[in-house]
Amino acid sequence: MTGTSRTSTRAGNAWRNWAGTVSARPLREVFPASTGELADAVRRAAEDGLRVKTVGTGHSFTSIAATDGVLIRPDLLTGIREIDRTAMTVTVEAGTPLKRLNAALAREDLSLTNMGDIMEQTVAGATSTGTHGTGRDSGSIAAQIRGLELITADGSLLRCSEKGTAEEREVFAAARIGLGALGVISAITFAVEPLFLLSAREEPMPFDRVMAEFDQLHAENEHFEFYWFPHTGNCNTKRNNRSTGPLAPPGSVSGWIEDELLSNGLFQVVNSVGRAVPASIPAIARLSSRALSARTYTDIPYRVFTSPRRVRFVEMEYALPREAAVGALRELKTMIERSPLRISFPVEVRTAPADDITLSTASGRESAYIAVHMYKGTPYRSYFTAVERIMTAHEGRPHWGKVHTRDAEYFDRVYPRFGEFTALRDRLDPDRVFGNDYLRRVLGA
């Protein structure tokens, strides 16, 4: 279902991302309510010599969506267009939040195969930046795309899929994670499957044991991830596997303690104390890492994959070849131990299979993701610079929506198909209608 009202346009207001690290003041904002209105907005911007960006919920930490031209707000481009139970796909408007898509699919006894750990983002924003969860066999949200619609720089509608013409397949290979550089997505078709149950096993485990058993834990579980608490030798592991039931969601009291009190409420207090008194962080980390206990629960997928995240932070994440993960993590631990850094946020580690998306961080190689965070308002550059030095030594690929300092020259080395993407961009957007400073850095002029 799509909106039918006329396009709303207004003078641009100051825009700021979720973390408060990026701001912009566009000349105007447009709220299209249909694909036709979206195409008109792009066409008018190009005629006026203005650059165009689309912004969702602002969960990217980079300036990937910032513009001084026309900012497209897809708030009215929401809802499911079609569910095809023969092809097992769902076609959804680009501005639909993942949380609304998940809930709507569940009502139809359907589900995505894999998800990230939050679901606040729009479907177009999440896929365009390569949002992912963890999975032995199932990849990012973008890897589940079977077709999409793209409004190109001249306002034309381009449909592409894995079954289209050679040109459409070329666009499809790139546009699933297109960074907003190839056009504005108007709709996405995802593969879906019958609703299933996941059993989650959360369990504290020593860092050295996780390192020793990392390959085994990855191989034996459909979805394995863990959090290591800096300044300690402690981790919290999570294993998600399909289940025949019965449905056994977390108890209301225990679930609230784990997900709200410890992960949000108390964690907010802990980080505030750590920001004010950095010297207290190691002791707090030792207490925090021992506060979580083992628990098992079973629920529908999105309730297991995702969790509420109300404590604001800044994040850097790199994808490494999976075989490099343990060595890099040991280097990271040693670096923190030998430095004056005080890190209050746990380090998150996830995995993904290789995929065939041109600029996917898992393109062509099995990957492990290492994500580091700092509490909002805490100086993060020294930590992130040291982490980035370790990650790039292993040919790491940074998440497109998270803090990094890499440029086009670097990406040309670590992405074998980087030239394919930039050549396609030259063809689809030669005048850089969809350009901005971030894309100039990461893709070149």
- Asked if residue 233 and residue 175 are part of one domain, the reply reads no
88 Ramachandran zone, left/alpha/beta (phi>0; psi -120 to 50): left
- Alpha helix segments (H runs only) across 129-250: 166-175, 207-220
pTM greater than 0.75: yes
In a domain, 419, yes or no: no
Q: How many residues would you count in the chain?
A: 445
Give the pLDDT mean for 372-385: 94
Q: What pLDDT band is residue 251 in, cutting at 50, 70 and 90?
A: low
Buried b (16+ CB within 10 A) or exposed e, 25-44: ebebbbbbbbbebbbbbbbb
User: What are the backbone angles phi and psi of residue 266, rounded to the nearest 5°?
Assistant: -65, -35
In a domain, 416, yes or no: no
* Greater model confidence, 13 or 187: 187
Residue finishing a domain among 194, 218, 233: 194
In a domain, 434, yes or no: no
**What is the per-residue pLDDT for 269?**
72
In a domain, 407, yes or no: no
Q: Residue 44 is part of a domain; what is its CATH number? A: 3.30.43.10
Give the pair of three-digit tokens for residue 45. Answer: 């911007």
- Asked if residue 232 and residue 320 are part of one domain, the reply reads yes
**Other Cβ atoms within 10 Å of 315 Cβ, number:** 21
% of the chain at pLDDT higher than 90 = 82
- Asked if residue 85 and residue 68 are part of one domain, the reply reads no
Give dist(CA 325, CA 327) in Å, integer: 6
* Greater model confidence, 268 or 407: 407
**What is the per-residue pLDDT for 265?**
58
User: What are the backbone angles phi and psi of residue 419, rounded to the nearest 5°?
Assistant: -60, -30
Domain that holds residue 158: 80-194
Q: pLDDT tens digit string along 37-53?
A: 999 999 999 999 999 99
Mean pLDDT value across the chain: 92
- Asked if residue 361 and residue 225 are part of one domain, the reply reads yes
Give the pLDDT mean for 73-88: 97
Q: Residue 323 is part of a domain; what is its CATH number? A: 3.40.462.10
In a domain, 371, yes or no: yes
- Asked if residue 35 and residue 21 are part of one domain, the reply reads yes
**What is the per-residue pLDDT for 417?**
97
Into how many domains does the chain fold?
A: 3
Q: Please report, for residues 92, 150, 178, 236, the alpha-carbon distance to residue 171 in angstroms, rounded to integers and kept in the order given.
A: 19, 10, 9, 40
- Of 77-86, 304-313, 343-352, which range is least confident? 304-313
Residue finishing a domain among 163, 179, 194: 194
Give the pLDDT mean for 248-269: 61
Q: pLDDT tens digit string along 198-245?
A: 999 999 999 999 999 999 999 999 999 999 999 999 999 999 999 998
- Asked if residue 186 and residue 230 are part of one domain, the reply reads no
* Greater model confidence, 363 or 273: 363
Is residue 11's pLDDT more than 60?
Answer: yes
Find the distance separating the first CA and the last CA of the chain, reported in whole Å: 38
One-letter-per-residue 3-state SS of 241-306: EEECCCCECCCHHHHHHHHHHHHHHHHHHHHHHHHHCHHHHHHHHHHHHHHCCCEEEEECHHHHHC
**What is the per-residue pLDDT for 3?**
38
Q: What pLDDT band is residue 281 in, cutting at 50, 70 and 90?
A: confident
Angle at 258 between CA 140 and CA 199, to 5 degrees: 50
Contact (Cβ atoms closer than 8 angstroms) between residue 52 and residue 45: yes
User: What are the backbone angles phi and psi of residue 57, rounded to the nearest 5°?
Assistant: -95, 5
% of the chain at pLDDT higher than 70 = 94
Residue 127 amino acid letter: T
- Asked if residue 337 and residue 263 are part of one domain, the reply reads yes
Q: What pLDDT band is residue 357 in, cutting at 50, 70 and 90?
A: very high
Q: pLDDT tens digit string along 151-180?
A: 999 999 999 998 989 889 999 999 999 999
Q: pLDDT tens digit string along 290-324?
A: 767 789 999 999 999 998 777 889 999 999 999 99
Give the pair of three-digit tokens for residue 356. Answer: 């065939």
In a domain, 284, yes or no: yes
Is residue 257's pLDDT more than 70?
Answer: no
- Asked if residue 117 and residue 68 are part of one domain, the reply reads no
Q: pLDDT tens digit string along 327-344?
A: 999 999 999 999 999 999
Residue finishing a domain among 194, 221, 245: 194
In a domain, 430, yes or no: no
- Asked if residue 87 and residue 14 are part of one domain, the reply reads no
- Asked if residue 379 and residue 249 are part of one domain, the reply reads yes
Q: What pLDDT band is residue 4 in, cutting at 50, 70 and 90?
A: very low
Is residue 5's pLDDT more than 60?
Answer: no
Give dist(CA 161, CA 175) in Å, integer: 10
- Asked if residue 45 and residue 90 are part of one domain, the reply reads no
- Asked if residue 324 and residue 220 are part of one domain, the reply reads yes
Cis bond leading into 321, ω under 30°?
Answer: no
Among 365, 323, 361, residue whose Cα is nearest residue 218: 323
**What is the per-residue pLDDT for 258?**
55
Q: What pLDDT band is residue 283 in, cutting at 50, 70 and 90?
A: confident
What secondary structure letter does DSSP report for 422? H
Q: Tokens 């993942």 — which residue?
A: 98
Give dist(CA 334, CA 266) in Å, integer: 28
